[in-house]
């Protein structure tokens, strides 16, 4: 194994980058924020990374104590990777980085936003002041992934699970939802085309979608 590179700087920022500053490392963390995943799941979520590089990053993060590996109990028996207790402390860091980066221009020919990246974008862009006294529950169905989004006044919680008796169910894909939320597509048009399916209260859905305003673009160079 190649010797790990280090900045050799005692600053906490430098020491953090020693652990998660390698290419793809933070994106691996991003993919594990919402729960454990198999190697194949990570490969599917990060199509730009080679199997060898992904293996190396997971090994580095495991050695650093950021990621742990375990085997699910029968009948699944799958080996999964998940954030350690210390690794989970990276969630607000990842969200803050996403909030800052969301103001940057989109890369040319950008790929479709991944499922976990989309859900974390919701957490990143959630406006607690817009929620007011709202208390509501939603189920988001994005392909085969189901998430339960709970809003309790100024707090948003999203977990990878189905919801019991939600106020509404939103069934779509990340591209269609992103277009409605942040790129000016009308919800009604997305529904008529079948790209977004809704069950339950439409006012509740409209209120939910209003809680994630698009970021203000950063000022470019003069």
Mean pLDDT by 10 residues, the chain (222 residues): 76 94 96 95 94 96 96 83 97 96 85 92 96 95 96 94 96 96 95 97 95 89 56
Q: What is the CB-side half-sphere exposure of residue 214 using CA atoms within 13 A? A: 14
- Residue 1's pLDDT is 45
Q: Say if residues 158 and 185 touch (Cβ distance below 8 Å).
A: no
Output the CA–CA distances (angstroms, integers) from residue 214 to 119, 137, 162, 189, in the order listed.
Answer: 14, 22, 27, 19
Cα–Cα distance for residue pair 71/94, rounded to 1 Å: 26
pTM of the model: 0.91
- Name the pairing type of β-strands 135-142 and 168-172: parallel
């Amino acid at each position: 194994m190649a010797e790990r590179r280090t900045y050799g700087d005692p600053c906490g920022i430098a020491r953090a980058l020693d652990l998660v500053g390698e290419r793809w490392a933070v994106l691996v963390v991003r993919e594990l924020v919402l729960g454990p995943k198999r190697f194949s799941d990570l490969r599917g979520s990060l199509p730009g990374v080679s199997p060898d590089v992904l293996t190396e990053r997971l090994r580095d993060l495991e050695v650093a104590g950021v990621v742990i590996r375990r085997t699910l109990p029968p009948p699944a028996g799958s080996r999964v990777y998940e954030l350690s207790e210390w690794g989970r402390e990276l969630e607000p860091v990842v969200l803050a980085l996403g909030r800052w980066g969301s103001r940057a221009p989109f890369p040319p020919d950008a790929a479709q936003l991944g499922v976990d990246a989309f859900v974390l974008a919701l957490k990143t862009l959630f406006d607690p002041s817009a929620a007011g006294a709202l208390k509501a529950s939603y189920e988001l169905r994005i392909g085969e992934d189901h998430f339960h989004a709970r809003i309790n006044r100024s707090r948003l919680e999203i977990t990878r699970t189905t919801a019991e008796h939600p106020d509404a169910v939103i069934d779509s894909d990340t591209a269609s939802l992103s277009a409605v939320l942040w790129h000016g597509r009308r919800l009604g048009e997305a529904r008529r085309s079948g790209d977004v399916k809704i069950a339950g209260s439409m006012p509740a859905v409209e209120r939910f979608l209003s809680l994630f305003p698009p970021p203000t673009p950063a000022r470019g160079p003069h």
